[in-house]
Amino acid sequence: MVSRVESAAATRRALVDAAAALLDEGGPDAVTLREVGARAGVSRGAPYGHFPDKEHLLAAVAAERWDAIGVRLDALIADRDRPPADRLEQALAGLMEVGRQSPHAYALMFSTPVGVYPDAIAAVSRTHDQFLAIVTDVIGDPARSGPVGALLMSSVQGIIAMENSGLLTAEKWHVTGDELLHMLIDRIAASDRR
Amino acid sequence: MVSRVESAAATRRALVDAAAALLDEGGPDAVTLREVGARAGVSRGAPYGHFPDKEHLLAAVAAERWDAIGVRLDALIADRDRPPADRLEQALAGLMEVGRQSPHAYALMFSTPVGVYPDAIAAVSRTHDQFLAIVTDVIGDPARSGPVGALLMSSVQGIIAMENSGLLTAEKWHVTGDELLHMLIDRIAASDRR
DNA sequence: TTCTTCATGTGACGTTGTCATGTGAATGAC
DNA sequence: GTCATTCACATGACAACGTCACATGAAGAA
């Protein structure tokens, strides 16, 4: 019924899910291998059968979250009835939503170690390609969609980082994160529209 | 010669300097209270005479770095010969430089805990006010300089985060961080110029 | 001098990531 | 069916860590 490899794959998934849940619930410090093992129904040493160390487990969490965003972008791309500009706005709003609902995971996705782990690199690359495709549909000129896409994704990350760290106060800046997003769309994406 | 309060103040400064140096050299994991104490010439328990816990020490490091940026902005503001648009560009370039030279400290400055510690809040607030003054000099309309300033600072943080995490690859996006900065200046700051 | 204050040193404790080793069940050969 | 092998997992152990309770000793006040 459950072969050995199936059981191992299920354990690996349980470990990643447990780590992701702990990260969302209590931040990076709450992710301990002992608690991850307990939630996955295994012992504290079990993760070492699937990952070289804790950082690789966290990289797997980051990769999974990038893939999750990729799924959302896929749904957007498949919706051919929606105007391209609408799709881009929805894509950016989706990034903002993820960043707000899972601030710790979002920070992990954009933190240094991600670029070192092959699985994470692949997931990031796929999702970024999808995002670029959406941008290109709006911009037209493929030579411009790269820089424009990079600026959009960078800025959204920055807006979320400022929001989540409490640095984007209304009293100081007289603006909300959503308003910044629309400034960005108006002045970066819209001005390059074909 | 050295009074008790003078000695205590010197120790506190040595602790913050040691923590900052360790953070720059080896990242967050390299900052251990034992090593901080050793570099400051005191024992591992000494920090508890100056900070409630390790996070408050790190918050002091973040506050010091925000103040350091404030000093750079002060020099820019004092230079009345330079055109306002030039000052803003120099201010943003300065942020990029800090983010590149001290990636770990830069990440700390924009990470969640910063907003909780009074000293860090004050330092951030002062520096943001200075940045806003520079933006207002370019924009003219004070009601618009808030949102514009917030978008500029957020975006610069995002660009640095993407750069430092290795996500801003030239092959994928066909653009550099510096080019993104100038896109930002042209389309956000320049278009609002009075 | 004597007392008080307070920064610092030190021993101890619980928790963490990690490794070496043991174990037991699924797998494949015959 | 029997046996040997493989491999995911459990367990004990260890060093390093943040933190606390307590001891110490010198500076400042009386």
Average pLDDT over residues B97-102: 98
Judge: A168–B179 Cβ closer than 8 Å, yes or no: no
DSSP symbols for chain A: ---HHHHHHHHHHHHHHHHHHHHHHH-GGG--HHHHHHHTTS-TTGGGGT-SSHHHHHHHHHHHHHHHHHHHHHHHHH-TTS-HHHHHHHHHHHHHHHHHH-HHHHHHHTSGGGGGSHHHHHHHHHHHHHHHHHHHHHH--HHHHHHHHHHHHHHHHHHHHHHHTT---HHHHS--HHHHHHHHIIIIIGGG--
Averaged pLDDT for residues A138-148: 93
Which sequence spans correspond to the domains of chain A? 1-50, 55-192
Contacts of residue B99 in chain A, CB cutoff 8 Å?
none
Q: Provide mean pLDDT across the span A133-149.
A: 94
Same fold, B1-50 and B55-192: no
Per the CB < 8 Å rule, is B159 touching A154?
Answer: yes
Whether residue B172 and residue A146 make contact (CB cut-off 8 A), yes or no, is yes
Cβ B101 to strand C below 7 Å:
no
| pLDDT at A178 (0 to 100) | 98
Contact between A162 and B153 using a beta-carbon 8 Å cutoff: yes
Residues of A in contact with B127 (CB under 8 A): none
pLDDT tens digits, residue range A150-189?
Answer: 999 999 999 999 999 999 999 999 999 999 999 999 998 7
Question: Nearest by CB to B162, which of A154, A167, A174?
Answer: A154
Mean pLDDT of B116-122: 92
> Which chain B residue has the Cα nearest residue A120?
B167
B26-48: average pLDDT: 97
User: What is the distance in angstroms measured between the alpha-carbon CA of A46 and the sugar C1' of D10?
Assistant: 8
Identify which of B115, B116, B151 has the shortest CB distance to residue A183. Answer: B151
Nucleotide nearest to B48 (CA to C1'): D19
Topology given in CATH for the domain delimited by B55-192 = Tetracycline Repressor; domain 2 (1.10.357)
Angle in degrees, 0-180, between the axes of helices A54-78 and A84-101, rounded to the nearest 10: 150
Topology at the third CATH level for domain B1-50: Arc Repressor Mutant, subunit A (1.10.10)
Is it the case that residue A191 has pLDDT exceeding 80? no
State whether B173 and A156 contact (CB < 8 Å): no
- In this structure, which amino acid lies at residue B124? V
**Best mutation site among B96, B121, B152, B165 for testing chain A: the one with the most A CBs within 10 Å?**
B165
State the SS3 of chain B. CCCHHHHHHHHHHHHHHHHHHHHHHHCHHHCCHHHHHHHHCCCCCHHHHCCCCHHHHHHHHHHHHHHHHHHHHHHHHHCCCCCHHHHHHHHHHHHHHHHHHCHHHHHHHCCHHHHHCHHHHHHHHHHHHHHHHHHHHHHCCHHHHHHHHHHHHHHHHHHHHHHHCCCCCHHHHCCCHHHHHHHHHHHHHHHHCC
% of chain B surpassing 90 pLDDT: 88
Q: Which of B27, B161, B187 sits opposite A110 (nearest CB)?
A: B161
For residue range B141-177, what is the model confidence (pLDDT) as tens digits? 889 999 999 999 999 999 999 999 999 999 999 999 9
How would residue B67 be classed by pLDDT, with cut points 50, 70 and 90? very high
Residues of chain B (46-75) having a beta carbon less than 7 angstroms from strand C? 46, 48-50
What are the tens digits of pLDDT across the range B5-27?
Answer: 767 789 999 999 999 999 999 99
What radius of gyration, in Å, describes the C-alpha atoms of chain B?
19
pLDDT grade for A193, boundaries at 50, 70 and 90: low
Q: Quick check: B193 pLDDT over 70?
A: no
